[in-house]
Amino acid sequence: SPSDPDLVERARAAKEKLGDKVFVLGHHYQRDEVIQFADVTGDSFKLAREAAARPQAEYIVFCGVHFMAESADILTGDDQKVVLPDLAAGCSMADMATAEQVAECWDVLTEAGIADRVVPVSYMNSSADIKAFTGRHGGTICTSSNAKRALDWAFEQGEQVLFLPDQHLGRNTAVRDMGMSLEDCVVYNPHKPNGGLTADELRAAKMILWRGHCSVHGRFSLDSVNDVRERIPGINVLVHPECRHEVVAAADYVGSTEYIIKALEAAPAGSKWAIGTELNLVRRLANRFAPEGKEVVFLDKAVCFCSTMNRIDLPHLVWALESLAEGNLVNRIEVDKETEEYAKLALERMLALP
Ligand code: 13P
Ligand code: SF4
């Protein structure tokens, strides 16, 4: 949708007034009307690094979702303030692992006698509490762009991995990138006693996958892949690793949002691409690459926005920027000190991965 010219002008003016005091980060799934005001765009990993690299900015306005803003707060200085333009911009996947559930899971692993050889690896898409749990138990954070390196590292520290909260990223990385088999993976269901697993099953698994998933990427199916290959012969199928295993197994290429953009930049004119990720990004890429003769289509027939990413719209951004320009600190995301200490440990292990 075209952005309201009055709001565009107000956002521009507020940002100009703030000058170097504000730095705006935008995730690739953000709306066009918002992303135009981002000083830097990126995938989760790039945005975490960018946040950490801006010590001169008093305000980091994070156009993305809650877990990303929390991670930015953890990685920035105490005097820097991270602002999320709409506090309701959460992530349903991150909500699938609560601190209580994960503590209970660790008790189950302890009772099965394996807690001392299990290393937790948590996807960036998790709350600060889960990141702190991960740091406390010697684990690391990963994103979709470094999951293999994180798992390689984890298997140097221990013999088994507890992967939270996205079962698909965990399974896809283990099977597709690391040569494990589907039988090496078990799924821990936090809604069942003992995760729905016996102690023997827990002991035998290499990967203990938390039963979480992304509702946006979960909608792509093997049928979507087969249909698009039939409709558009010669098409390349490129999907995000949050997609289900059978979708990833049938795709030609798999990677993070930043990887998807780079792949299209490097693609030859005349090539055709079906993309399995969020729709704001896919539409933007379709428009950007059409003049170069690269055809980009959405992998599924149904529309598939991330509703929480979409909560950050131009009115919310204008409100946040104008409030900051008037000296009102609104919608600050601030992780408490103790959580921050351990979550930072886990995030820094990720940033130090080779
Ligand atoms: P990326 O790290 O690939 O940008 O993914 C973030 C995300 O939330 C995907 O759903
Ligand atoms: Fe969360 Fe999925 Fe939205 Fe990413 S696309 S923020 S994983 S709900």
Which ligand approaches the C-alpha of residue 305 most closely?
2
Q: How confident is the model at residue 1 (pLDDT cuts 50, 70, 90)?
A: low
Q: How confident is the model at residue 118 (pLDDT cuts 50, 70, 90)?
A: very high
Cα 341 to averaged position of ligand 1 atoms, centre (Å): 24
94-214 and 217-298 have identical folds: yes
Q: Which residues contact 66 (CB under 8 A, 6 or more apart)?
A: 84, 87, 89, 90, 91, 94, 127, 333
pLDDT of residue 110: 98
pTM: 0.96
Record: fold of 94-214: Rossmann fold (3.40.50)
pLDDT for 36-71, tens place per residue?
Answer: 999 999 999 999 999 999 988 999 999 999 999 999
Cα 217 to averaged position of ligand 2 atoms, centre (Å): 8
Q: Give the separation between CA 37 and CA 11, rounded to whole angstroms.
A: 8
Distances from the Cα of 332 to the Cα of 26, 58, 239, angstroms: 17, 12, 33
pLDDT for 257-303, tens place per residue?
Answer: 999 999 999 999 999 999 999 999 999 999 999 999 999 999 998 88
Which residue's C-alpha comes closest to atom 5 of ligand 2?
A: 306
Helices 44-52/337-351 angle, 10° precision:
110
Domain 217-298: which CATH class? alpha beta
Annotated binding site for [4Fe-4S] cluster: 91, 214, 306
Please answer whether residues 36 and 22 qualify as being in contact, where contact means their C-beta atoms are separated by less than 8 angstroms.
Answer: no
Q: How confident is the model at residue 83 (pLDDT cuts 50, 70, 90)?
A: very high
Q: Give the separation between CA 283 and CA 275, rounded to whole angstroms.
A: 10
The residue type found at 2 is P
pLDDT of residue 303: 81
Could you tell me the residue ranges of all domains in the chain? 5-90+309-337, 94-214, 217-298
The ligand 2 site (C-beta within 6 Å) comprises: 65, 91-93, 125, 214-216, 242, 278, 306, 308-309
Give the closest residue to 62 by CA, choosing from 35, 84, 30: 84
Cα 201 to averaged position of ligand 1 atoms, centre (Å): 31
The residue type found at 48 is A
DSSP for residue 324: H
β-sheet bridge partners, residue 295? 272
pLDDT of residue 55: 87
pLDDT of residue 19: 97
Please answer whether residues 271 and 292 qualify as being in contact, where contact means their C-beta atoms are separated by less than 8 angstroms.
Answer: no
Cα 95 to averaged position of ligand 1 atoms, centre (Å): 15
Q: Give the separation between CA 100 and CA 96, rounded to whole angstroms.
A: 11
Helices 128-136/99-111 angle, 10° precision:
30
Annotated binding site: 27, 44, 91, 123-125, 144, 214, 240-242, 257, 306
- DSSP string across 176-206: IIH---GGGEEEE-TTSGGGG--HHHHHH-S
Q: How confident is the model at residue 350 (pLDDT cuts 50, 70, 90)?
A: very high
> Among 66, 122, 242, 308, which is best to mutate for testing ligand 2, by the most ligand atoms less than 8 A from CB?
308
- CATH tag, 5-90+309-337: 3.40.50.10800
Q: Give the separation between CA 62 and CA 181, rounded to whole angstroms.
A: 38
Give the nearest ligand 2 atom to 92 CA. 8
Cα 106 to averaged position of ligand 2 atoms, centre (Å): 25
Give the nearest ligand 1 atom to 65 CA. 8
DSSP element (H, E) containing 237: strand 236-239
pLDDT for 242-255, tens place per residue?
Answer: 999 999 999 999 99
Which residue's C-alpha comes closest to atom 7 of ligand 2?
A: 214
